[in-house]
Amino acid sequence: MPGAIYAEGLVKTFGDVRALDGVDLDVPEGTVLGLLGPNGAGKTTTVRCLTTLLRPDSGKAVVAGVDVVKHPDEVRRRVGLSGQFAAVDEYLTGRENLQMVGQLYQMKAKAAKVRADELLEQFNLADAADRTAKTYSGGMRRRLDLAAALVVSPPVMFMDEPTTGLDPRNRQALWDVIKDLVSGGTTLLLTTQYLEEADHLAHDICVVDHGRVIARGTADQLKAQTGGERVEVVVHEREHIATAAEVLRGFGKGEATVEEHTRKLTVPVTGGAKLLAEVIRELDTHGIEIDDIGLRRPTLDDVFISLTGHAAEEREEGNGAVQDSKDQKRKKGTEK
Ligand SMILES: Nc1ncnc2c1ncn2[C@@H]1O[C@H](COP(=O)(O)OP(=O)(O)OP(=O)(O)O)[C@@H](O)[C@H]1O
Ligand SMILES: [Mg+2]
């Protein structure tokens, strides 16, 4: 039986940009799917198709048991959405924004007020509740928008980059809210650019690039594919880079990557902290002085390098001009 969010062969084009090129998803009820990918991968377009804001050119999507193309109104009644760009009413206060959402969903005024207060508290907005949203900082707007998506608890939720722009404390608070939500039975699809976030929250992860799912699995499976942890070493002398690379190669499960200007070498390993001690000893034996050494988990970049053989495209802020220039490149087919 298909899950609470199901998509098969979703295609969406904008002119000659193929934003979705056959996306397949299946999210079992009560679980979290992390949709991971770089700028322009097709994350938002996927969310917009699944929440009926966009009509796919072809393919099939069923959300909460309802076909999104055939019965969009029915789908809208069963899903909640927090978009990438906060959709709050600037001229209403935080509290009014939330109460308004409650009333749109036909909650009684009293119930809407109680729910608004709860959410303001949960999202650290209680102190600012009676200020108009136009006085809010970026992170506050983002939190208000997330709170608005949670006024009613729909069985299926979509969150597009929910933690982008949040400081660490608020990011943690949101992670807690999300965990609560899911333990209450909600099915969630969230998009993110951070493996670490998907790792914390998602049961399953789909990595998308150029409108296609290029890998799927649990965080552990993806990391294992990526070669597990990395040892990162910064050598003191530039002249030692070559020897250090040689030493690391002996410990690594793959080639060491070298960043000349920062004198940083990185190599995928398995073996954890014990191995780290051995690496330090071996470098010392070769007379290589180090400024820094550490063990770190794979990042999205590592996943990309190992999956596609090339790095994720440069991080671009979601601003039209930059995105446009990338589209131009894609249209001309000059992108690698
Ligand atoms: N309305 C639109 N008109 C034209 N092109 C679009 C439109 N919406 C999306 N695209 C293009 O489709 C591709 C996928 O965009 P999408 O917004 O889904 O990416 P994303 O993975 O959400 O990226 P980001 O991490 O930057 O939010 C991009 O090349 C984008 O420019
Ligand atoms: Mg997006």
Cβ neighbours of residue 176 closer than 8 Å, sequence gap 6 or more: none
Task: Give alpha helix (H) positions in 34-167.
Answer: 43-50, 72-78, 94-104, 109-122, 138-149
In the numeric block, the tokens 């790095």 are attached to: 311
pLDDT at 321 over 80: no
Cβ neighbours of residue 251 closer than 8 Å, sequence gap 6 or more: 231, 267, 269, 271, 275, 278, 279, 282
Rg (C-alpha) for the chain, rounded Å, is 23
Looking at residue 157, its pLDDT comes to 94
Among the residue ranges 159-173, 185-199, 217-231, 288-302, the one predicted with the least confidence is 217-231
Is the shortest distance between the CB of 187 and ligand 1 below 6 Å?
A: no
How confident is the model over 93-115, as a mean pLDDT? Answer: 92
Looking at residue 316, its pLDDT comes to 38
pLDDT at 328 over 60: no
Torsions phi, psi for 163 (to 5 deg) = -105, 5
Q: How many A from CA of 85 to the centre of ligand 2?
A: 9
pLDDT at 309 over 70: no
Q: How many A from CA of 83 to the centre of ligand 2?
A: 9
Torsions phi, psi for 76 (to 5 deg) = -55, -35
Is the shortest distance between the CB of 13 and ligand 1 below 6 Å?
A: no
- Distance CA(319)–CA(26), nearest Å, equals 31
Among the residue ranges 110-124, 193-207, 234-248, the one predicted with the least confidence is 193-207
**Confidence category of residue 83, pLDDT binned at 50, 70, 90:** confident
Chain segment 53-64, per-residue pLDDT in tens: 999 999 999 999
